[in-house]
Each structure stands twice: as C-alpha cells, then as structure tokens.
Structure 1
Amino acid sequence: MPAIAAPPQTAAPAAKPSRNLLAACLAHALHDGYTDGLYAFLPIWQAQFGLSYAGLAMVRALYSGTMGGLQLPAERLLKGVSARSALLLATLIAAAGFLVMALPLGFAGLCLGLVMAGIGSSIQHPRGSSLVHETYPAGSRRPLGIYNFSGDLGKASLPALAALLLPLVAWRPVMGLMAVLGLVVSGLLYGLAPATRPAPSHKASRATGGARSLTGFTLLTAIGGFDTAIRMGYLLFLPFLVHQRGGGSAMVGLALALLFIGGAFGKATCGWLGERVGVTGTVVLTETATALLILATLATPLMPMLVVLPLLGVVLNGTSSVLYGTVPELAPGGDHGKAFAIFYTSVTGSGGLAPILYGAIADHSSQTTGIMATAMTAALIVPLVLALKPFLQAGKERQAA
C-alpha cells in the first residue's frame, strides 16, 4: 500500500501551483483594492465629519495601522492553518468591516468598520505571500512579481469604481457594494485555495540559507517603509490636488486610476529593469524619478497633471515590486512567512503613520509643503539603497556557492 500511495503525493503539487497562485492573486487584488479604494472617500469624510488633513489621515490609519500592526501576530496565530481557511477568514472579516461602514452608525461605525477591515487584511498579506513562495520555492521571484502585480489590478479598479459611483449614489451604498464583492471573492477562494499548507522545498531553503542577513533585511525593511510612506502620503493629497484644479469626484477617480494603472505597468517594467540593472540601480532610478515627478504634479494644471500621473505611477509603485522580491533572499533564518509578515508590518505601518505626519506638515504650513515632503523622502531612499548593495552582493555570492 505505501508504494501505491507514494506517486500521488509527489504528483499532486505539480497540479496545484497555478490554482494556488490564482487564489493568492485574487485575495491580494481585493484587499489592495479595499486599501486604496478608501482614498476615493476621503474628501466626502472630510466634509461630513469636519476633519483636518491630519485627522483624516488618523481615521484612515485605523485601517492601515491595524493591518500593519497585526500581520506578525496573525502569521504566528494562524501558522498551522490552511491557506484556504486563512484567506477565507481574512476576506470575510474585511468584507464585514465594509458592511459595518455601510450601515448608518455615524462616525463610530466608520471607525469600527475600518478597524475590522484592517484586521482582515492583516491576515491576507503574509499568508498569500507565503502560499506563493511555498508553491514556487525554487524560483519565487517571478511568481511573487505576479502576486504583487495583482494587487495593482485591485488598486486600479476599485478606487475608480468607487469614484465613478460616488457622484451617483451616497457613499454608504458604495461601501455595501464593496462588501458584496468581498463575499463573491470568498466563494472563489473556497474553490481555489488549498485546504492544506504546501511544504516548502528543503533544497531551496539550503541554497539560500547562507544569504540571510539580519542587518541587510532590516535595511531592506526600512527602505520598504519609506517607499510606502511616499506612496501613501502622496495619495492623501492627490484627491485634493484634483479638486483644487477644478476636477470633481469622477476626475478624482480618473486620476487615481491613471496613477494605479501606471503602477501596475511599473511592476512589470521595474521587474524587467531589476533583472538587468540590479536592485540598487533600479531603486536609485525609480526614487529619483519619483521625487522629480511628484514636484512636476505641483507645477502643472489639471490636464498636464493627468498625463504625468501614469508616469509617476510607474516609479511610485514599481519600486515595491523590486524590494518585495528580495525578501526571501534576505529573510533571517530562512523563515519566509515571518520575514514577509515583518516586511509587511513595516510597510503598512509606515503607510498608516506617514500620512498623519505629512498631513500635520500640511496643516501647519501648506498642502504644497506636505507634498514636497514626500518628494524629499524619495530622495532619502537613494543613500539607503546604496548602503544595502553589499548585502545583496554577498547574498548572490553565497547562493552561487
């Protein structure tokens, strides 16, 4: 009997990779769409609840801060749970949060729903990343790039959908529609996600085990945090930039869509560039371009700004793909699940705190100064990534050995 049962066990993983990757990508697209879809509601919330820029950022931080702060505890708590159960739980809790926001419960209901949605999304990122890496352990950079790209599809679609609907219906029914979308994705995940957790390849772990560097990983995580801070800080101000130039809610949706479509294209472009120029050269190029293009959006009228936004999206979002694919190479101790959770905790925590800081700068000076601060942060990343270069080179040498 054991001899008969052995072949299916070795053949099964070969039939599952595409389904596993599709499940992870579906969850990522929805949750990233949830995350960035909230930006379309910011001007409405500011008017309805009388919030300052910093106050508005603090409200949104209830979602992003919860999502970032709970990723490592969620990874530990659900370490032995199947990918199907973890991704379903993540999506159902997030959808429930959007349903609470859709109910007429006032400001308290909005805050409660944001926290619930953040709890759900805190589960998705580390578990989805681990599912992809465990399914493709020997060559996870390209599948991880596809997984990362899927998030941008959600970022490009849900904010645009919300912004197009908001001029037609009140914001709470739009929230309800997003909750229903979460239930639909939950049904798809039930049929796609594996009921057991894939076993990582020990051969791949040994091949990369010598390249782990706590110092290099810490530096990589810091760079990822600053990169996310730029993106989230700029997104805080973008709807208001559009309004100041005479654009309405539909134009805000178009601006967000253009930025995120450029970001989706940037994932592929920067991935291709990273393979040829390397991580260091790519990040130096993208962050320099980010700083310059952010400043360009301050100096242009509405229509030229819309032309600049896709280009800004390429470099603003593309950098994260290069950084994200480097996590397995520098994961301390070879614990990829923990490394992804720590990395995501840094980037999402930064995404929650940075807009508060940039918003406070704008409140005490001007919106222009707040946006210029995001450009200065992009310039700050350049010396940091140059300091990371020796760790990346050491990792490649140890992998080759």
Structure 2
Amino acid sequence: MTPSLSPAASPATPASNTHWRVISAVSLAHFLNDLMQSLILAIYPLLKGNYALSFAQIGLLTLTYQCTASLLQPLVGIVTDRKPQPYVMVLGMASTLCGLLLLSQATQFGWLLAAAALVGTGSSIFHPESSRVVRLAAGGQKGLAQSVFQVGGNSGTATGPLLAMLLILPYGQGSLAWVACLTLVAMLVLWQVGHWYRAELAHAARRASTPVANPLSPAQTRKTLAVLMALVVTKYTYMACLHSYFTFYLIERFALPTADAQLYLFAFLLAVASGTLLGGPLGDRIGRRRVIWFSIFGSAPFALALPYVGLTATLLLVVLIGLILSSAFSAILVYAQELLPQRIGTISGLFFGLAFGVAGLAAALLGQLADHYGLQAVYQWCAWLPLAGIVAALLPELRKR
C-alpha cells in the first residue's frame, strides 16, 4: 500500500519547507520509469542475436526511443506551464507499460521500433511535469531536490542491466511482460503525488504572489541558454557512446562474456547515479557554474585515457568519468530554471528533451561509424568531446546577481 501524501496538509506548511515525502515519491517513480526504459538498452545483445541486428539498426532503435522521448517534452512543458496537469504523469507511465508489453511479444524489427516509440512517449509525458513537482516541493533546496529526483532515474537506469542479466537474458524476451508490471506501482505512487500537486496548485492560486524577475536581460538569457545547450550536447553525445555501446566495446576489445560486460555497465551507471546525487547540493553550496565547469571539463583527462588502457583501468576510468560527468545535469537544469523562473515546464521539457534527442541521434550516428570503422576507433574519437566543456567559462554567476 502506497502511503498517502496528505495533500490537505500541504497548504498549512510554510512554502519555504522542503516536502521530502513528495520528492521521494517522485524520485521512486523516476526510478521505476527509467528502470523500465533502460531495459531496452540492456537487452540489446539479446535483440541483436535474436534478430541478427546490425549496429546501425541498434542505433535506429535508440534513435526511435530517444526522439519520441525528446520531441514531445518541450511541447508538454509549454502546455503544462499554461495549465498544469496533476495526473498527466500517470498517463506517461501507462504509455511505458504498453511499450514494454509490446516489446515482450514483438517478432519483427518494425514492432521493436513501435515499442521503443511508446516507451519514449511515456518518458516525454513524465519528465517535464515531474520536474515541476520536485521544484514546487523543494523549498529552499532546489539543487538537492533536483539531484534526489535525478538520482532516482539514474539508479533505475543503472539497475536495468543488472535486472536484464538476472531475469531477461536467462528467460528470454517474453519475461519483459512480468517486469513491466512494476509500472503499476509507479502509477499508484504518481496518483498519490497528483493529489498533493492538485491541492498545492489550488493553494498557490489563492495566495497573492509577486512574479519572480528574470536575473539576466533577454539577450544574455538567450546566450546563456545556448551555452548550456552546447554543454548538454557534448555531455550526452559522449554518454551515448558509453551507454549504448560499452558492453559491445568490452566484448570486442577484451573478449568479455555478455554477463560480465553487463556488470561493468552496471558499475558505470551506478557511478552516474552517485555523481548526480552530488551535483545538486554542491551547486546549492558553491554555485552551479563551478559544478558545471568541473563536471564537463574535469572528465576530459580520464576520457582521453580510456581507449588505451587495460580492462582493470577501463573499469576505474569509466567509474571516474561517470561520477564526474553526471554531476552536471542537475546543476544545468536548476541553473536554466533560474534563468526563466516563469517557464519551469518549458525549460524542463527543453533540457530533458535535448538530452534524450542528442543521445538518440548520437547513438544512431555512432552505430553507423562503428559498423564502418570499429568501436575502438569510435571510442578514440569521442574521447575528445569533454574538452568542449571549456565553454562553461562563458556562463555568468547568477548567485552574485
């Protein structure tokens, strides 16, 4: 039984307080949502064997999922900025459920693409409004709250390969249907969150509030958003290289069994979850600009060394890369929300959508390159991407303003 979030009690609570029960509930839903979605990537070796897929087709699967997960998110954010929808997150989870059930029974590549599209659509609906709920419940700890929300998703993504290794790979594609039932838990949790959110919106509509002014001029805001988007492109292109093809890289270069390669991927994704949890509170304490700068640019030495080391050093380096590089997104998202505080849904949808879209396009492109030049060459080329983090020097320090 999911505990009630007691929406009636929320209006009596000071607005400055952090509602950790709400944030924890949304983070749990994020965990289950991203766990379900990560299973698509985690069972790539199974799908590749069952359907004789090329790397290009694997990239197309990722592109389909990531594009549907990205293109709708800004639109959802714009709509919910105008009229928030307390229960729309439940609808998103239902789309994910349908996609996984279809994936468990798919027999042709076209059905695999349709299933990936449904799962991506669920992500598009879930993320913008859930991010708004987290910010609404955050009180004065926006960075920490956003990190707790993000670490739920990253932990789910990290658990996907482990669950695939223990359940999906031994019992086959059809076992996805049983795992998909976990989305029903997420739907129940989000229904309870919707009750709290609806009551909070009603309370906010009754109390007089002064709109928060934008901290920068329109021209400065556009320039700063462009820099943030460039950093997201750099980060998620490199993350797509690791996330989508790391198991294949280990199998090809070190002749690891698939199950062992999944464990290495799990270690990387667990480091990503840990880094995400650190990025938000560090941004609250020392400033988000510093966190963004260190996160992208600071991972460059490890990324450059990765293609040239042995198996043990590879594990150490990918853990360091995941830990450092993942601390950026919470800081980037909260920084962008502070630029346009009246457009929380739009900003959340834009940056979540950009992250998913870039990852999908990068996975498709990198798959094509891997087919022609080999994965080791692709890893050598992508190692230079984190150096682009130097553009973070162009970000203004909002705390001083």
Range class of TM-score, shorter chain: 0.7 to 0.9
Displacement, 1:340? 1.0
CA distance in 2, matches of 1:272, 1:78: 27
Write the distance in 2 (CA, Å) between the matches of 1:305 and 1:105.
36
2:299 match: secondary structure: helix
Equivalent position of 2:152 in the other structure: 150
Superposed displacement of residue 231, structure 1: 0.6
Q: Greater shift after overlay, 354-363 or 55-64?
A: 354-363
**Structure 1 counterpart of 2:257:** 248
Partner letter of residue 346 of structure 1? L
| CA deviation vs aligned residue, 1:176-231 (integer Å, no higher than 9, x gap) | 1331111222123223433616346976852x533462221232122123211211
C-alpha contact (below 8 Å) 1:131/1:198 kept by paired residues: no
Q: Contact (CA 8 Å) 2:67, 2:360: kept in 1 or not?
A: yes
Give deviations 1:357-383, integer Å, cap 9, x for gaps. 22222223221221123222211222x
Q: Distance in 1 between matches of 2:160 and 2:36?
A: 7
Give the unaligned 5+ runs of structure 1: 1-6
Superposed, 1:234-313 pairs within 5 Å as 234-244=242-252, 245-271=254-280, 273-274=282-283, 278-313=287-322
CA distance in 2, matches of 1:202, 1:179: 44
Residue 184 of structure 1 is matched in structure 2 by 185
Greater alpha carbon shift after TM alignment, 12-21 vs 217-226: 12-21
Shift of the 193–249 alpha-carbon distance from structure 1 to 2, 3 Å rule, reads farther
In the TM superposition, residue 137 of structure 1 has moved relative to its aligned partner by 5.2
Task: For 2:23 and 2:334, locate their aligned partners in 1 and report how far apart those are by CA, in whole Å.
Answer: 15
Which residue of structure 2 lines up, in the alignment, with residue 196 of structure 1? 198
The match for 1:51 among 39, 50, 53 is: 53
Q: Is the 8 A contact 1:95 1:178 kept in 2?
A: no
Q: In the aligned structure 2, how far is the partner of 1:291 from the partner of 1:53?
A: 26
| Residue of structure 2 in register with 1:4 after alignment | none
Contact 1:81 1:197 in 2 (8 A): no
Map of 1:214 onto structure 2: 222
In 1, distance between residues paired with 2:38 and 2:353? 17
Offset at 1:261?
A: 1.4
Length-normalised TM-score, structure 2:
0.86
Q: Match of 2:129?
A: 127
Q: List per-residue Cα deviations over 1:220-270 (Å, max 9, x = no partner).
A: 122123211211122122011221212223212211210111112212333
Deviation at residue 138 of structure 1 after TM alignment:
4.4
Structure 1 residue 368 corresponds to structure 2 residue 370? no
Structure 1, residues 264-309: CA drift from partner, whole Å, max 9, x if none?
A: 2212333455456544443343334433323433223334423333
Between stretches 340-349 and 314-323, larger displacement belongs to: 314-323
Offset of residue 319 of structure 1: 2.0
Give the secondary structure class of the aligned counterpart of 1:210. Answer: coil
C-alpha distance 312-111 of structure 1, shift in aligned 2 (>3 A): same
Match of residue 355 from structure 2: 347
Q: Are residues 1:70 and 2:78 paired? A: no
Alpha-carbon distance between aligned partners in 1 of 2:108 and 2:9, rounded to the nearest angstrom = 55
Residues in 2 aligned to 1:228 and 1:204: alpha-carbon distance in whole angstroms: 36
CA distance in 2, matches of 1:202, 1:217: 30
- The one-letter code matched in structure 1 to 2:314 is M
**Aligned structure 1 segments of 4 or more residues deviating by more than 6 angstroms:** 13-16
Deviations 1:297-341 (A, max 9, x none): 32233344233332222023222222122122122x631111111
Which residue is equivalent to 1:17? 19
Deviating more after overlay: 334-343 vs 68-77: 68-77
Deviating more after overlay: 179-188 vs 135-144: 135-144
Does the 8 Å contact 1:53/1:363 carry over to 2? Answer: yes
Judged with a 3 Å threshold, the aligned counterparts in structure 2 of structure 1 residues 261 and 86 are, in CA distance, closer, same or farther, namely same
More divergent stretch after superposition (27-36 vs 251-260)? 27-36
1:61 matches 2:69: no
Residues 194-203 or 318-327, more deviating: 194-203
Q: TM-score, normalised by structure 1?
A: 0.86
> Which residue pairs with 1:114 in the alignment?
116
Distance 1:65 1:104, change over 3 A: closer
Match of residue 364 from structure 2: 356
Q: Which moved more, 1:291-300 or 1:214-223?
A: 291-300
Pair 1:296–1:99, CA change in 2 (3 A): same
Check the 8 A contact 1:164/1:253 in 2, yes or no. Answer: no
Count of residues in correspondence between the two structures:
383
Q: Which deviates further from its counterpart, 314-323 or 344-353?
A: 314-323
C-alpha separation in 1, matches of 2:374 and 2:266: 26
| Percent sequence identity over aligned pairs | 22
Give the match for residue 3 of structure 1.
none
| Contact 2:215-2:339 within 8 A present in 1 as well | no
Question: Displacement of 1:90 after TM fit?
Answer: 0.9
